[in-house]
Chains A and B, each alone.
Chain A
Amino acid sequence: MQKIFNLACGSFYALGAYVGVSAVGWYVDAGGPPALFIVPLALAGLAVGAVGVVVERGLLRFVYDRDETFQLLMTFAIVLMMEDAIRLTWGTAPRSTAGLYLVYGQVRLFGATVPVYNLIVIAASLAIALAIGWLLTRTAFGRIIRATADNREMAEALGVDMRRVYAKVFTLGTALGTLGGALVIPATAAMSEMGIELIVEAFAVVVIGGLGSMRGAFVGALVVGVLRSIAISVYPELEMLLIYLIVIAVLVARPRGLFGGATA
């Protein structure tokens, strides 16, 4: 909607991961029951999304009308600054929530052992996707977002306060990133460069799905995730190649991506 290709979204994901680890650490030290660790984890992930307001009001709003190259450079600068800020705050060693990942146990599904925590994260992702879908299609705010994405000048002429909408939308996006980072962290470990790692895959996801399309992002993520898993099982050498072959194929055959028909 803001017509900005935000390279810093991976950094918000990393920030959410680190804040999530710290929140869970405090929770455990305070004697909280391990089974409820997901509550402080998710709350911390959501709360730190407030950094989005600061970034949007403090930096991004100055580059909305600038050249795209300038916007890319600005968001890349944010990536580098946040990586250093994370390193200064949490140090260089990987941070994790120790064994809490296994606290919910495992279940057998289709002959495979699956950690229950993974199922919780999948369910949470679906719930978030549905909630965003509902927000965009069924609420007045969603209509304003869609109208602004479609025609900013017209929306502004009809009385939409663009500053507020941009700040809200960017903060919402940031909170989704930080929440995602927090939720994924029990299964892995927080590392300062994890944001940059993510952005590369995210790029493949949005190109396949279609820039600016929520449905496209959902389908693109599934395509990338499933293809990677199949490649690793069948022919590991193809893991990355396969994804980028799909990216190239989509760019050649359907440059707007699978769901990128709209200009949203």
Chain B
Amino acid sequence: MTPTQASRRQFLKLLGAGAGAAAATRLDGPSASAQATGPVKIGVLTIRAGVAAPVGAAGLRATEWWAERVNNAGGILGRPVQLIVEEESNPKDTVERYRKLVLQDKVEVVLGGISTGVTLALGPVAEDLGTPWLSWDGTTQKGIEETMPNPKWAFKSVDNEVEAIVAGILTPKYFKSIKTVAGIGNDYSYGHDCWESYQAVLRRYVPDVKFVLELFPKLGVTDFTSHIAAIQQSKADLLMCSFWSGDATIIMKQAAAVGLFKTMKGVFTTGGGVHDSLKKEFTPEGLLLGYNTMYFDDPKASALLKQFVREYKAKYNEYPPYECDHAFFNAESYKVAVEKAAGPAKKWPDKAQVVRALEGLEIESLSGKRSWREDHVQMCNFYQGITTHKNGYDFVTISPIEVVSTKQAMKPAGSKLFEWINGWKV
């Protein structure tokens, strides 16, 4: 290589580096010091297409409501909040968008994640990128096993199977003579895990219970006529259903059309998160119905929840589902953690300081007090109860209301689910 060539190459390299640096400067936007005074960029991952879109929309709406509220009150440590929303779709694409939020948009925190199929992949990426990630509804469980017991940056949702465990605890309380049970859930990890957990819990309370049928239609099915016929044939005393999207309403309607619940008790662990579509015309009284972590019509609701429900109904003409509570909790806990880590000097903390402040933090969410366990898992209450028509709506609500804490219904950090359930003193 001649000196001339070398110098030309060096020159080109320098030129390239300079152009790259200039491009990077343009892409980066404000410098680090400017960012500490500019808006707080918050990445939001949500599902806006497909069967889980209503869930994603609810989470995003609550996050937007939170952001508006925070900005009206002066922001976080005086900095306004700016949401940068990206789509949650399949794991590969969502991971790319997550990287984009952290590396290109340079967000301070990423909120969101609904499907555990996706968040299972996000967890390790969040750890690599060193930015706090607070998941709305997704965990890093593979089935019922935790894959990230000691995360540094990832904060996960409640274990997927908790609502089935709560339903298992409440079933013998309300349906005392149950001997045979049929189950229906979506044909993927959540549906199967809920069914396994529910069986394990119910066996503890009713040792001679028999599980006579299990059906797992795929997600997105809209005709359950044949499934309902099979459930009728099974002559079970009770049907347990863990549907968590619009399919809960569909099966309820199609079941009512053949009078299924005239002879059978029913447990709907989440009611699809579309509770205001469970109309009285086809949803009977006397079913056990879950609302996950937030019950919009809670007579003991805080002023915050009442305001949220009122404004949500006014804006969207719907009643808010549980995903709003997950999303609000994530966003609000981040704000409180930043303020806590800032200390009396109110100096903007670095990301690691925020993470430390989040660990064990308890705050007031829409549904009441919620906290982060030391191993970065959400702690909260679950609301379930018996369906009633005695209300001012055209859909069912629940009365009495049972409130079960994750302290009772979620496996402790580091334990095995079925060993833990089998060790209960019943």
Please report A residues at the B interface, Cβ cutoff 8 Å.
Answer: 83, 87, 91-94, 96, 98-99, 101-102, 106, 112-115, 117-118, 187-189, 191-194, 197, 228-229, 232-233, 236, 239-240
Contacts and interface: CB of A to CB of B under 8 A. Distances in A.
A197 B222 contact: yes
Nearest to A117: B257
B46 to A, nearest CB: 11
Interface of B: 48-51, 53-54, 56-57, 214-218, 220-223, 225-227, 229-230, 233, 245-246, 249-250, 253-254, 256-259, 274, 277, 279-282, 318, 394
Contact of A94 (B54, B217, B256, B257): B54
A233 B222 contact: no
B281 A191 contact: no
Contact of B226 (A91, A102, A192, A233): A233
A96 B57 contact: no
Given A113-B259, A232-B227, A193 B254 contact: no
B246 A106 contact: no
Q: Of B253, B254, B277, B280, which is in contact with the most chain A CB atoms at under 10 Å from its CB?
A: B253
Contacts of B51: 191, 193
Contacts of A101: 253, 257, 282
Given A194-B222, A197-B220, A188 B215 contact: no
Contacts of B277: 93-94, 96, 189
Contact of A93 (B57, B217, B259): B57
Given A87-B53, A106-B258, A233-B229, A188 B223 contact: yes
B214 A236 contact: yes
A112 B228 CA distance: 12
A229 B226 contact: yes
A59 B57 CA distance: 32
A154 B356 CA distance: 79
B54 A102 contact: no
A197 B246 CA distance: 15
Contacts of B274: 93-94
B220 A115 contact: no
Contact of A92 (B53, B214, B233, B258): B53
Given A102-B257, A236-B214, A93 B54 contact: yes
Given A99-B282, A189-B222, A236 B257 contact: no
B220 A99 contact: no
A192 B225 CA distance: 21
